């Protein structure tokens, strides 16, 4: 529901000014509890790490993160210090006196938040007793062989114990807010509520347990959300106890939140509760002092990727690198959930289109998805060695040539170019050329896969025949390892690699949020996402024409698999048709959306959730009208006034369009003027964050 008030401008490039939630932060303590505090396991680590600075700025020394103690993490990430709050110190001392190891310090990330870490091993002797107490409270039994669930019981019991020791020291204030992330932290919430502690609780699910399992099994998930026998499905996958822990946490929390509208619909059916607030994930946006600096970074890192391509395709480098586009997909190796299956099929169709139309554009596609490997592929290493040898040869000949030319010019002579290179130089160059001869195709993977016969990506490549032949306009490279600047093959960090690419492609089937396309956006790199990802749904709500801003959204919910694949193919083919000028314009527009993903903007959803939790826990102290709309309204970027380089709206009828069309667009495009209009022409606000009640499956949804 929109608020009946006008919008005012802020420093965030035209984002609406939001009313403060007016929380008396000085009289509150905020604890954020997660298994991934200082402990990187998945995407929740990124959420907590990137949000810490904004939250620490808001709450100061009243903000604490609670997580498990792992020595190898603490040694490199945490600086030990004394708790600034005497009540926190007293609660820790009480626990220590009874044999539990508790560590306190500052997490060495942006914002330097305080962290409170519990040593799970030191309290493991209490496991059986705590499992019994948890059974008495919830009737949830934890099997002895599930170590992760047992650790969750210990961690949750320690968290509830600490909150009890802390809260009993306070009479009236400060009031305590405890925000729990995911089921591993949920035991602490359940025990806190069962003990009736005066603590306002929030629970956030970033992805439902059962949803992830069902989608990994290639089940028609979104088309059958209201058809599943939840208990049966969880039991068959031997996660019934985990599911019960998650569901109990959801129903015990004063406020339940999730990270996207698509996950909210999923939670309604899987966990049987509608989220109170949707809290989208954000990033820390670092703005450049120079407007076009990110374009310069793109050129610099693109040149580094081109160097790798020169080595990888030596002997088959019969395509122009200036007319080569770099696409990539990255993330966990979940072949179907991450959309790698559809991406490969679309690449096969794209290869056909580019060959039929005899285009001079070549597409090199990287799959950055970690898998089990033995070591680097010998042929790949050889390619980089050959490239370096050719470079050294060229530099040696160039130096000799330069000296002879320099001496001739000093004498006032024009050198005889036929004599300036002697026989030895010609011989060296011929040997260099012969060394580039290759009797096999460039490899499709950079590493030796441990089980390449059963690898789904490699098997699909074999089926569709994308073997990096000379006639292929689409080349494929599987890099089954995280990127690193110390790699002998592709010495780039992930951020540098992304900046050097032209397009990120993430056609996910199951993606509660999707940090990979969000990271592309803040770096000014266009990306492909889907309407089954939280990021894709968020952009559809906030941007009038996402494709014009470099956010291509594939419809995987209301179209059949083949139709979705065709749509993805058209997006890719349309992108290949763009001129260099059009791609520059589009990158400018993409980077302009980065403010939408800034925690300074999205952090307000968390503020609203905290206020709501306090009003439900302490209604005498904190008020919030039950029917009041969120004070976190959104807006929509309008469609750019100039012709967007979007295949959906500016695709040419033939693959060979005239240069005049590009020139005409250049005349119409004024970046500063367009950016100014984007900041001012904000459409009427609407509420983002509350899930529409009773949202059901729509007719025509497909599993794909």
DSSP state for residue 474 in the 8-state scheme: E
pLDDT tens for each residue of 381-422:
999 988 888 888 888 888 888 888 888 889 888 887 777 778
Would you say residue 241 has pLDDT above 90?
yes
Secondary structure class of 683 (helix, strand, coil): coil
> What is the maximum alpha-carbon separation in the chain?
99
Higher model confidence: residue 217 or residue 540?
Answer: 540
The string of DSSP letters for 205-224 reads ESS-HHHHHHHHTT---GGG
Higher model confidence: residue 103 or residue 392?
Answer: 103
Average pLDDT over residues 565-580: 97
- pTM for the full model? 0.85
So what's the pLDDT on residue 589?
92
Can you say whether residue 550 is alpha, beta or left, with left for phi > 0 and alpha for psi between -120 and 50 degrees? left
So what's the pLDDT on residue 427?
85
Average pLDDT over residues 311-324: 93
Query: Do residues 408 and 414 lie in contact, with contact meaning Cβ atoms separated by under 8 Å?
Result: yes
What's the pLDDT band for 701 if we cut at 50, 70, 90?
Answer: very low
So what's the pLDDT on residue 671?
63
Would you say residue 163 has pLDDT above 60?
yes
pLDDT tens for each residue of 266-305:
999 999 999 999 999 999 887 654 557 888 999 999 999 9
Average pLDDT over residues 125-150: 96
β pairing state of 114-118 and 175-181: unpaired
The string of DSSP letters for 648-662 reads HHH--SSS---HHHH
CA angle, corner 350, sides to 345 and 356, nearest 5? 130
647-653 contact pairs (CB < 8 A, 24+): 647/547, 647/552, 647/570, 647/571, 647/573, 647/574, 647/575, 647/577, 648/547, 648/552, 648/570, 648/571, 648/574, 649/545, 649/547, 649/548, 651/570, 651/574, 651/577, 652/577
pLDDT tens for each residue of 24-79:
888 999 999 999 999 998 889 999 999 999 999 999 999 999 999 999 999 999 99
Higher model confidence: residue 1 or residue 267?
Answer: 267
């Amino acid at each position: 529901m929109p608020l009946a008030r006008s919008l005012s401008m802020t420093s965030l490039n035209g984002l609406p000014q939001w009313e403060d939630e007016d929380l008396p932060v000085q009289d509150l303590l905020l604890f954020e509890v997660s298994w991934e505090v200082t402990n990187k396991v998945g995407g929740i680590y990124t959420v907590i790490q990137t949000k810490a600075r904004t939250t620490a700025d808001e709450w100061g020394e009243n903000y604490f993160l609670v997580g498990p103690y792992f020595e190898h993490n603490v040694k490199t990430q945490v600086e030990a210090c004394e708790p600034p709050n005497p009540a926190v110190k007293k609660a820790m001392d009480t626990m220590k006196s009874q044999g539990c190891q508790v560590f306190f310090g500052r997490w060495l990330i942006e914002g330097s938040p305080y962290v409170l870490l519990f040593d799970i091993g030191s309290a493991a002797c209490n496991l059986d007793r705590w499992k019994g107490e948890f059974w008495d409270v919830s009737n949830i039994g934890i099997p002895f062989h599930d170590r992760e669930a047992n650790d969750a019981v210990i961690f949750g019991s320690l968290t509830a114990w600490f909150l009890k020791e802390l809260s009993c020291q306070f009479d009236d204030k400060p009031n305590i807010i405890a925000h729990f992330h995911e089921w591993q932290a949920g035991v602490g919430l359940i025990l806190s509520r069962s003990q009736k502690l005066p603590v306002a609780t929030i629970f956030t699910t970033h992805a439902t347990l059962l949803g992830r399992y069902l989608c990994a099994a290639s089940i028609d998930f979104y088309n059958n959300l209201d058809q599943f026998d939840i208990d049966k499905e969880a039991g068959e996958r031997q996660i019934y106890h985990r599911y019960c822990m998650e569901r109990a946490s959801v129903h015990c929390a004063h406020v339940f939140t999730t990270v996207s509208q698509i996950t909210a619909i999923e939670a309604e059916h899987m966990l049987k509760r509608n989220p109170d607030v949707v809290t989208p994930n954000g990033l820390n946006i670092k703005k450049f002092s120079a407007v076009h600096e990110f374009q310069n970074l793109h050129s610099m890192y693109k040149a580094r990727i081109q160097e790798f391509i020169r080595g990888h395709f030596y002997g088959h480098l019969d395509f122009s690198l200036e007319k080569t586009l770099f696409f990539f997909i990255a993330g966990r190796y979940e072949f179907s959930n991450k959309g790698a299956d559809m991406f490969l099929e679309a690449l096969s169709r794209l290869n056909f289109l580019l060959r039929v139309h005899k285009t001079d554009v070549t597409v090199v596609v990287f799959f950055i998805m970690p898998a089990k490997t033995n070591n680097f592929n010998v042929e790949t290493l050889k390619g980089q060695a050959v490239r370096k040898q050719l470079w050294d040869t060229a530099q040696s000949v160039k130096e000799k040539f330069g000296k002879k030319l320099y001496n001739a010019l000093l004498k006032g002579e024009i050198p005889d170019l036929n004599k300036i290179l002697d026989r030895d130089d010609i011989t060296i160059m011929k040997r260099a050329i012969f060394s580039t001869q290759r009797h096999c195709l460039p490899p499709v993977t950079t590493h030796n896969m441990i089980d390449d016969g059963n690898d789904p990506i490699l098997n699909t490549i074999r089926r569709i025949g994308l073997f990096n032949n000379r006639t292929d306009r689409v080349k494929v490279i599987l890099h089954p390892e995280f990127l690193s600047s110390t790699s002998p093959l592709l010495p780039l960090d992930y951020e540098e690699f992304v900046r050097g690419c032209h397009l990120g492609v993430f056609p996910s089937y199951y993606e509660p949020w999707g940090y990979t396309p969000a990271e592309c956006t803040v770096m000014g790199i266009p990306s492909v996402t889907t309407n089954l990802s939280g990021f894709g749904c968020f952009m559809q709500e906030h941007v009038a024409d996402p494709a014009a801003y470099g956010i291509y959204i594939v419809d995987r919910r209301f179209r059949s698999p083949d139709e979705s694949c065709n749509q993805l193919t058209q997006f890719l083919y349309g992108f290949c048709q763009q001129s260099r000028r059009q791609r520059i314009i589009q990158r400018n527009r993409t980077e302009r959306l980065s403010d939408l993903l800034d925690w300074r903007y999205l952090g307000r959803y968390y503020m609203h959730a905290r206020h709501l939790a306090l009003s439900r826990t302490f209604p005498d102290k904190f008020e919030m009208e039950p029917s009041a709309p969120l004070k976190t309204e959104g807006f929509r970027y309008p469609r750019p006034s100039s012709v967007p380089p979007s295949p959906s709206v500016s695709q040419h009828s033939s693959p060979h369009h005239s240069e005049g069309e590009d020139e005409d667009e250049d005349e119409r495009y004024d970046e500063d003027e367009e950016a100014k209009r984007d900041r001012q022409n904000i459409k009427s606000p609407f509420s983002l964050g509350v899930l529409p009640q009773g949202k059901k499956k729509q007719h025509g949804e497909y599993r794909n």
